[in-house]
Amino acid sequence: MRAGGLVAFPTETVYGLGANAADPAAVVRIFELKGRPADHPVIVHLDNPRYLHRWVREMPPAAERLAAEFWPGPLTLILPKADDVNTVVSGGQNSIGIRIPAHPIALQLLTAFGGGIAAPSANRYGRLSPTRPEHVREEFGDALPVVLDGGESQIGLESTIVSCLGNVVRLLRPGFITRTQIEKVVGTLAEAGDAPRSPGDRGSHYAPLTPLEIIESEELEARAAEFAERGEKVAVLAMRAPMHAQRYLTWINAGKKADAYAHNLYNHLRTLDRAGSMRIFVQAPPADERWTAVIDRLRRAGGLGAASADSGAG
């Protein structure tokens, strides 16, 4: 990394593709390897808040409270960028995303490196995020020679992103840390409004190659039968077992526990993506806050845009 190379490393959320955040040429290599648009900012990872002054112009009081409550952890704060930080990191904006991860290998890497590491998820742009080292190797092969193996990611979904700009606090991306938890620390959040661009904010993102559609539980078998009648394969990610076996059908019962479902989501979608199906049907999760992050990722995987960060409704 000190020589400008890239390293994939584990965090508690997903695996990151890391480069020296203070080396613009190295950060550009991230964009090139991922096929990531240049205006799509990356998150800078630190091992300690005492280094914030190198990256952030100021730390608003709300951000101070959130950092004290949730760092190290799966929370990214969008903050005013320090003037000397290259805009390649921020996607050309005057704001910057900062996170202190809660994974021992990530923290050991950061401490040994001695600086900020710019790291989006270690996957091709717009595709499923990696939660295991083999996912990273499948994505990049020999193009990425170093992958630090930390086993399976504990959470399995990307960090919650909260903007703290202009004394306005907004939830930009739901995650393991919920809106209710954030509001307990800083009060009622503002609506997204004129928010800065942030990682994962595209309407189509986190997507398998197979077209994905979210449908209600009672429609799963009937929709699958439509494909079976044409001799076409279909894959299903559900929260229950199938009512009866069908030819041409691959079915995963992911269960009804929100945290376990989220933990396994990308791995299940990768499995279904390899099944050679014409379509992936996903049973619509419950519309409550525990499922907001899952619904957000599924909607984007289906090209439907963001879920409501208020209720988790689709």
Is residue 284 domain-resident? yes
Q: What pLDDT was estimated at residue 305?
A: 59
Is residue 262 domain-resident? yes
For 73-141, the DSSP string reads: SSEEEEEEBPTTS-HHHHTTSSEEEEE----HHHHHHHHHHTS-EE--BSSSTTBPPP-SHHHHHHHHG
Asked whether residue 220 falls in the same domain as residue 180, the answer is no
Asked whether residue 226 falls in the same domain as residue 182, the answer is no
Write out the residue range of the structural domain in which residue 293 sits. Answer: 212-301
Cα 200 to Cα 43: distance, rounded to the nearest angstrom: 11
Q: What pLDDT was estimated at residue 204?
A: 61
Cα 40 to Cα 20: distance, rounded to the nearest angstrom: 17
Q: Which residues of the chain have pLDDT under 70?
A: 192-204, 304-314
Output the domain CATH number for residue 156. 3.90.870.10
Cα 250 to Cα 247: distance, rounded to the nearest angstrom: 9
Asked whether residue 170 falls in the same domain as residue 245, the answer is no
pLDDT digits (tens, 9 = 90+) for 177-232: 999 999 999 999 998 666 665 565 555 678 899 999 999 999 999 999 999 899 99
Q: What pLDDT was estimated at residue 196?
A: 65
CB count in 10 Å sphere of residue 4 = 13
Asked whether residue 164 falls in the same domain as residue 247, the answer is no
Sheet holding 160-165, edge to edge: 7-9, 16-20, 117-118, 43-45, 95-99, 75-80, 160-165, 168-173
Asked whether residue 39 falls in the same domain as residue 171, the answer is yes
Asked whether residue 97 falls in the same domain as residue 229, the answer is no
Output the domain CATH number for residue 275. 3.40.50.11030
